[in-house]
Amino acid sequence: MATLTEPSPSLPLSFEDTATAFASKSDAQLNKAYYLFWAMNSNFLVRYGTAFLKFAFKYKIPLTKTIVKNTVFQHFCGGETIEECEKTIQNLAKFHIGAILDYSVEGEKSEKSFDETTEELLHTIEKADHNPNIPFSVFKVTGIARFALLEKIQAKQPLTDAEQAEWQRAQKRFDRICKKAFELDVNLLVDGEETWIQDVIDDMTYEAMSKYNQKRAIIYNTYQLYRADMLGNLKKAFADAQNKGYYLGAKLVRGAYMEKESLRAKDMGYPDPIQPNKEACDKDFNAALEFCIENIEKIGLCAGTHNEYSNQLLAKLMKEKNIASNDSRIHFAQLFGMSDQISYSLAKAGYNTVKYVPYGPVEAVMPYLFRRASENTSIAGQSSREFNLIRSEKVRRRKK
Ligand SMILES: Cc1cc2nc3c(=O)[nH]c(=O)nc-3n(C[C@H](O)[C@H](O)[C@H](O)COP(=O)(O)OP(=O)(O)OC[C@H]3O[C@@H](n4cnc5c(N)ncnc54)[C@H](O)[C@@H]3O)c2cc1C
């Protein structure tokens, strides 16, 4: 297996170097990734494979879990438990890439499961405590509170007494998680979700920032720049933070729920919150990077993107402002199993680079895996890029 040298900040930033991108992968692992992305390149296989897996899990067809765990799960996830993620954390650390343990159990609805998720999230924060290989923790508010309740609150509908009590419990869980992150000095990302619950998530997150971001950015909100209003929201959030005297933690992403957002807006007859086209989304994402760098004295920035240009732009903006590549206020973030050409190259060049490492019981993580598969079809375009890079690396190794 090839190895990397120590990070060297003087290296030019290029994402074409497949030897760097796949340095952590043995030939066998590379082959496995090749066949996985080959399969995901096929819209047919993704569509029918997804339907088949849903059926197979529902009717408990033997070996389904084993097959999934050894293929797609293994590629995109760290394991089923924090302990199982240890190897992945160490492997990433060898290449100076941090791990963000992302407990990816979705769609739960019971108070019991919200309490269990809260306990698990507290463990991820404890695991990150004094651990340079885990620079952030992360969570989704819908992992600790019922989606329909958040929706009702945002719609300003009256809550029943039972719902009032439920809301109090959700707020308590949220504060426990943020407080723990503050006490252990661990950066905490609050993921961005659907627009019809996001105002509630924003309110909770800003309240936590005003409490815990007095000395530096610990709590980070997510800004989905595929929303037409988001660049304005980011600027307003910064102005509010300035007025109230706290640091703003900002994770910038383009956004993962585009089709769902547009469909709902159409069905319910309100204006689509999504940008008119990809160019407008890119323009605002890159403008948001510039805004954060201009105000970096009072912002903690985590750029969550697989877009090569946006990553290069951020590196360029840092250079123009004479910001060291390893400045602790700035992180580049990608998802485990995707865009290694970006993560490994950034880390090699000395930038703070992190990867979300999803984990959880295989069946519970399936919605996350279905999203990755659909994002990686040839329609979405990402897979072709991943697939071509893996193919180039296979050719390069053969010629060696
Ligand atoms: C570390 C990390 C954390 C993330 N956290 C979150 C999160 O908390 N919440 C969340 O929603 N997503 C999150 N994402 C997913 C992210 O929002 C994107 O879906 C994904 O990263 C693809 O965008 P990109 O910037 O990598 O690159 P690109 O491939 O350049 O962009 C694709 C994205 O552009 C946008 N887009 C595509 N077509 C159009 C169009 N016609 N009009 C407008 N916009 C368009 C969509 O957002 C699409 O996903 C995260 C991603 C990463 C890497």
Residue-wise pLDDT tens digits, 283-333: 999 999 999 999 999 999 999 999 999 999 999 999 999 999 999 999 999
Report domain extents, the chain.
Answer: 78-364
Q: Whose CA is nearest to atom 38 of ligand 1?
A: 278
The distance in angstroms from the start CA to the end CA of the chain is 13
- H-helix or E-strand spanning residue 337: none
Name the residue with higher pLDDT: 388 or 188: 188
Per-chain mean pLDDT for the chain = 93
Name the H helices within the chain.
18-21, 27-40, 43-58, 64-70, 72-76, 86-94, 111-128, 147-154, 161-184, 195-212, 230-244, 258-268, 278-294, 308-320, 340-348, 362-375, 382-399
**CA dist., res. 231 & res. 392, Å (int):** 37
- Euclidean distance between CA atoms 341 and 386, whole angstroms: 9
Position 203 pLDDT exceeds 60: yes
Spacing, Cα 346 to ligand 1 middle (Å): 19
Q: Which residues are within 8 A (CB) of 97 and not within 5 positions of it... i.e. 6 or more apart?
A: 343, 344, 347, 353, 354, 355
What average pLDDT does the segment 214-219 reach? 98
What is the number of the ligand 1 atom nearest to the C-alpha of 140?
8
| Amino acid type, 115 | D
Q: Cβ(342) to ligand 1 under 6 A?
A: no
pLDDT score recorded for residue 378: 61
Which atom in ligand 1 lies closest to the alpha carbon of residue 333?
A: 1
Task: Return the pLDDT at 66.
Answer: 94
pLDDT, tens only, 249-281: 999 999 999 999 999 999 999 999 999 999 999
Q: What is the pLDDT averaged over residues 206-219?
A: 98
- For residue 260 and ligand 1, the question of a CB distance below 6 A is answered with no
Q: Is 275 in the pocket of ligand 1 (CB under 6 A)?
A: yes
Q: Is the CB of 301 under 6 A from ligand 1?
A: no
Indicate whether residue 227 lines ligand 1 (CB < 6 A). no
| Atom from ligand 1 closest to the CA of residue 100 | 1
Q: Model confidence over 324-365: pLDDT tens digits? A: 999 999 999 999 999 999 999 999 999 999 999 999 999 999
What average pLDDT does the segment 385-393 reach?
Answer: 90
The answer as to CATH 3.30.460.10 being correct for domain 78-364 is: no
Task: Judge if the beta carbon of residue 360 lies within 6 A of ligand 1.
Answer: no
pTM of the shown model: 0.94
Establish whether residue 198 lines the binding site of ligand 1, counting it when its CB lies within 6 angstroms of any ligand atom. Answer: no
Q: Would you place residue 12 in the very low, low, confident or very high pLDDT band (cuts 50, 70, 90)?
A: low
Q: How far apart are the CA of 355 and the centre of ligand 1, in A?
A: 15
Does any ligand 1 atom lie closer than 6 A to the CB of residue 254? yes
Give the phi and the psi of residue 103 in degrees, each rounded to 5. -70, 105
